Amino acid sequence: MAAIGILNLHKRRNAVDRIYRERLTLTNLRDTDIESRYRLDRESIVYLMRLIGGDIRKSGRGRSIDPETQVLVTLRYMAKGDFYSETGDVHGVSRSSVCRIIHNVVTSINKRLHNIRFPRTNEDILHTKVMFQRSCGLPNCLGAVDGTLVPIIAPKQNEEAFVSRTGCHALNVQAVADADMRFTDVVCRWTGASHDEMVFDNCGLKEHLEATNIGYLLGDSGYPLKPFLMTPYLHPGSPAEERFNKAHKRGRVVVERSFGVLKARFRCLSKSGGCLPFAPEKSANIILCCFKLHNLCLERGLPLPDISSDNDDSQTPGEFINECGRGGIQRRNELTQLFSR
């Protein structure tokens, strides 16, 4: 017994006291610093904390990490694309805690925040069409569709399928944006080698538009011409067709600008922020969360960030001359007639 007591005393003398680092809070940050570091303003962060607080509440044991710190850690990573160690050092948590926090918070936001909605009611459909017609002159348009590449770390399985045309491993994310740069539909489960046309052809939105005939989307020439998907003339042969192409470009550019704003806001999605160091499934969850936070920023009127010139990563358009159905040609001709005067 004496020997055991001496051994325990020796362990206590050689034990290293646990060091608790100071953690940032919203109360000791200026408003400008909050928006610069986390991309959201103070009120929006508080809103998120209330929205998901029940999912990520602290355990009550020792120095467990409070919901505010968890939200700040996640937003900081998505805004800057930092290494875990740097994000942890800023907020006084360990590298392993950062990894766990990010996925818990992202999962909760995706579960609780529902602000990516394609117009379904008559009121929403009419509003979307009116806003697009004001911006580009094309009636009955419900949005602009395109794909963007988000770099990820090379997956352990089926690696070659994720290699994009740029040579990096990525997910090809399809999104539809309205005239206000709000994302109304997002698909982020396809590999970087997947072509935009194939992604659209296998999404639920295509089936919905085809079945309901409520309007159409604008897409580049990488998509086939359909009654519900208008593409530009590859070789315009009249002034009316040229004017249609210009109007089409004014309408479609909104989705490219939306991607630019998204990646400028959340650098973890941009190649300037490296790549998402997660498996494809977890990367897709983070991507979806960033899209939802982008919409939240628009809803709350936060200023748009400067768009850098390194966001042009969409696939090179191809020519789908043989996939232009009669219905698509007829609808485009009818729209072109609006520009014949």
Please tell me the pTM assigned to this model: 0.89
**Distance (Å, rounded) from C-alpha 189 to C-alpha 179?**
25
Quick check: 251 and 177 in contact, CB under 8 A? Answer: no
Q: With 50 as the cut, is the pLDDT of residue 86 above it?
A: yes
Q: How many residues does the chain have?
A: 341
Q: State the pLDDT at residue 28.
A: 83
What sign for the dihedral angle of Cα 83, 65, 73, 55? Answer: positive
Q: State the pLDDT at residue 233.
A: 96
The strand pair at 216-218 and 141-151 is best described as: parallel
For 149-173, b where at least 16 C-beta lie within 10 A, e where not — what string? bbbbeebeeeeeebebeeebbbbbb
**Each residue of 196-213: pLDDT tens digit?**
999 999 999 999 999 999
For 53-70, b where at least 16 C-beta lie within 10 A, e where not — what string? beebeeeeeeeebbbbbb
Q: State the pLDDT at residue 108.
A: 97
184 or 61, higher pLDDT: 184
**Distance (Å, rounded) from C-alpha 297 to C-alpha 302?**
5
Q: Is 309 exposed, middle or buried (0-12, 13-18, 19+ CB in 10 A)?
A: exposed
Q: State the pLDDT at residue 20.
A: 45
- Mean pLDDT is lowest, of 25-34, 227-236, 261-270, for 25-34
Of the candidates 231, 146, 161, 233, the one whose C-alpha atom is nearest the C-alpha of residue 196 is 146
- What CA dihedral angle connects 43, 46, 47 and 52, to 10 degrees? 160
**Distance (Å, rounded) from C-alpha 265 to C-alpha 113?**
18
Q: State the pLDDT at residue 4.
A: 52
Q: State the pLDDT at residue 87.
A: 86
**Each residue of 189-199: pLDDT tens digit?**
999 999 999 99
Residue 28, amino acid? N
Q: State the pLDDT at residue 14.
A: 54
Q: Give the CA distances from residue 52 to residues 45, 49, 104, 106, in Å, rounded to whole numbers and listed in that order.
A: 11, 6, 10, 10
Mean pLDDT of 63-84: 89
Of the candidates 244, 256, 227, the one whose C-alpha atom is nearest the C-alpha of residue 323 is 227
Of the candidates 51, 43, 100, 53, the one whose C-alpha atom is nearest the C-alpha of residue 73 is 100
Can you read off the two tokens belonging to residue 152? 């990820």
